[in-house]
Structure 1
Amino acid sequence: ASLGGRVIFMCLVPEDITMNRKEAFSIWKETFPTIVKQAEKENLYIALEGWPGPAPYYPTLGTTPEMLRAMFNEIPSKHFGLNYDPSHLVRLGIDHLRVLTEFGDRVNYCHGKDTEILHDDLYEHGILPATFGAKYDFSEGSWRYTIPGQGEVDWGKVAVRLDKIGYQGPVSIELEDHRYWGSLEAERQGIIKAKEHLSIYFK
């Protein structure tokens, strides 16, 4: 706050990643309200990142509607919200537009990242991580992260819903795509292409 920051971006991953989410939640609800009270005092907004965490435990809190609903019931303050990143929702099989309908008033940040569902690989190992390794970087097998416009996210509808809820923050491009990785020029091209696609829908 003293440096002018207004949004704190975080993944709530327990130190012991084998801890089940229900147990982690019980610890969280006893400790986190104090942190949010301090955030309110400093006029800071917390944005939970929806990355589910490392396989095979996926321990991160705040990645599914079930958990978000429970967390927001415990802490109704809008200083405790989410980073809307539809790429994680798509890979988990969660309706990325419905999340905005239910939790739009808690969106404190937004990531411009997409996910492609790899249907042939989905047939091979379902939603489980590939036994013998994923074919692509930024993937576990049946899906891969990609730049906006190359996956399943309907960015036109996302833009309409973000506008409706009055979101005024950035759509921050999070570059995780094997085709635009490994060199400065490749990453530059990825960011340019992502921006070009998002610019179609966002003012």
Structure 2
Amino acid sequence: MPKLAVFPKAFMNALCNDGTMRVAEWIELAVKLDVQGLEWYAGFLEMKDKKNWSVFRQMVEDHGKEIPMMCCSPDFTHPDLAFRQKEIEKQKNWIDMTYALGGTYCRVLSGQRRPELTLDEGVKYAAESINACLPYAEERNITLIIENHYKDDFWEFPEFAQKMDVFCKLLDSLHHPHFGVNYDPSNTFLAGEDPLELLYRVSDRVVTMHASDRYLKEGTIEDLRNEELGAVGYAKRLSHGEIGQGLNDYDAIFTELKRVGFDNWISIEDGVDGMDQLERSVAFLNKKIAEHWPAQ
């Protein structure tokens, strides 16, 4: 049966920018939820001090939870080789961070969709960079997970591999036992595409999942697809919402994941409207997991 983790989506600015929330405060909130883990973020301000890594791991484990996944954002599509090499070194540091926290999965991305970049160049740069990190990850028994991502908060351009065809082309060039997909259905809407179509194309390589939901504040899905998504900022007519109340069909998603034998971590990126919302999302997913993966 898949296990649930939570991510502090509502508190990223407080934890990463202005320091108005301490990591220990987030842990105390998260461990009260009916989940088994906390997904971590490499950019928490307090993670700059390596001495904190073991302290936070102990805090989480003292509550009977674990830190299975690390969220980080390497930028592997820069045309300058020296820049990419620095990003590889950053990724190796995040792999070390994941290992120190007791985690198993560390995110990778392709990088920014720079206007001067051709499709073949972007795929080549990203694949070479990820391949350069994989032996390091394997030594520490860490699996690198690539997400169908939209855009890191600190990037100028959207994700190079945001569109389904580009994502799949990059995926086809990467094969390693310590590499897989972190599937995020909501991000597919931001590409103006169908989350289930992407899932059916990559389901046999999905090892982890981000769970969230989006709803339309105005208009239709067709309107959304006709917009120029991937420009600066998120689509204005799309908003984060409570899981189970939005556009994602979790019965269809879980049916496909069950079909391919998925039995791993699902991390909830939700709760932007408060912990009550996050609690309801946790309850919804626990109910759906029990329906699709009934206890033997």
TM-score of the pair, normalised by structure 1: 0.76
Equivalent residue for 1:35, pick from 133, 143, 158:
133
Within 5 Å, give how 1:184-195 maps onto structure 2: 187-195=274-282
Partner of 2:193: 94
After superposition, what is the alpha-carbon deviation per residue over 1:30-73, rounded to whole angstroms, capped at 9, x for unaligned? 33212123323332111223222269974324433212222222
SS at match of 2:265: coil
> Bigger relative contact order, structure 1 or 2, given CA contacts below 8 A and separation 6+?
2
* Cα distance change on mapping 1:84 and 1:125 into 2, 3 Å: closer
Partner of 1:156: 251
Give the counterpart letter for 2:149 in structure 1. W
Aligned length: 188
Contact in 2 for aligned 1:13/1:61 (Cα 8 Å): yes
Bigger Rg, structure 1 or 2: 2
After superposition, what is the alpha-carbon deviation per residue over 1:144-192, rounded to whole angstroms, capped at 9, x for unaligned? 2222112110011111111122222222111264xx1xxxxxx211111
Partner of 1:127: 227
Relative to structure 2, which stretch is displaced further, 86-95 or 56-65? Answer: 56-65
Residues 1:199 and 2:291 are matched in the alignment: no
The structural deviation recorded for 1:18 is: 4.9
Partner of 2:159: 60
Contact in 2 for aligned 1:91/1:117 (Cα 8 Å): no
Contact in 2 for aligned 1:21/1:59 (Cα 8 Å): no
Identity %: 20
Equivalent residue for 2:241, pick from 146, 152, 161:
146
After superposition, what is the alpha-carbon deviation per residue over 1:98-127, rounded to whole angstroms, capped at 9, x for unaligned? 222221122121111012134438759942
Contact in 2 for aligned 1:83/1:110 (Cα 8 Å): yes
SS at match of 2:240: strand
- Structure 1's unaligned 5+ residue stretches are 181-186
Q: In structure 1, what is the Cα distance between the partners aligned to 2:181 and 2:161?
A: 8
Equivalent residue for 1:25, pick from 114, 117, 123:
123
Partner of 1:116: 215
TM-score of the pair, normalised by structure 2: 0.54
TM-align CA RMSD: 3.2
Give the counterpart letter for 1:7 in structure 2. Y
Residues 1:48 and 2:135 are matched in the alignment: no
Within 5 Å, give how 1:64-75 maps onto structure 2: 64-75=163-174
